[in-house]
């Protein structure tokens, strides 16, 4: 079975942009740094050479990782704008009248500090497929609680 990585269109574009930057800007700079370090002579005690080799390994590993993710990604697209889905922003009302707004994203893009929650998180699982105004039960490790899906954007 082929692994699928769920991404929003914005998330896909971010990965593509990073990959392009690594291939066209960072990789050539690291290769130049390696050549410059080699030109200094004795490689056995050359900290610049060791540093450039380490950076090259990190850059190449990240390029491979990004290529894999992009190759195995599926872009989430929801046709129904009234239904909570990956790529949509939802407004949630908790029992204590707290209101929060989140963008639902694939697990790889999740970043709670930017109000991006995973479709695999308890709230993400609870709201996906539901419409504005619905009262929902969220099953979490700390027990279940009720929320109201105030809006889907």
Q: Where are the domains of the chain?
A: 5-75, 89-152
Would you identify the CATH topology of the domain 5-75?
A: Helix Hairpins (1.10.287)
pTM: 0.79
Q: By the 8 A CB rule, do 52 and 34 touch? A: yes
Cβ atoms within 10 Å, residue 1: 3
Question: What pLDDT does 1 receive?
Answer: 60
Separation of alpha carbons 28 and 26, rounded Å: 6
* Average pLDDT of the residues in 124-135: 94
Alpha carbon of 119 to those of 23, 24, 28: distances in Å? 31, 33, 37
What average pLDDT does this structure show over 3-20? 93
Cβ proximity of 60 and 19 under 8 Å? no
CATH number of 89-152: 3.10.50.30
Average pLDDT over the chain, rounded to an integer: 92
- Distance CA(21)–CA(127), nearest Å, equals 36
* pLDDT of 88 above 70: yes
Residues 130-144, mean pLDDT to the nearest whole number: 92
């Amino acid at each position: 079975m082929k692994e699928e990585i769920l991404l929003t269109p914005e998330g896909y574009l971010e990965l593509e942009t990073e990959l392009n930057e690594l291939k066209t800007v960072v990789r050539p700079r690291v290769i130049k740094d390696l050549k410059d370090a080699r030109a200094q002579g004795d490689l056995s005690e050359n900290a610049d050479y060791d540093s450039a080799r380490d950076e090259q390994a990190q850059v190449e590993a990240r390029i491979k990782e990004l290529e894999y993710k992009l190759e195995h990604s599926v872009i989430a697209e929801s046709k129904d704008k009234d239904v909570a889905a990956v790529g949509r922003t939802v407004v949630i009302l908790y029992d204590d009248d707290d209101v929060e707004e989140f963008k639902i994203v694939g697990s790889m893009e999740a970043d709670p500090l930017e109000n991006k929650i995973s479709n695999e998180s308890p709230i993400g699982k609870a709201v996906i497929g539901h419409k504005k105004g619905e009262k929902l039960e969220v099953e979490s490790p700390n027990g279940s609680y009720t929320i109201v899906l105030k809006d889907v954007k």
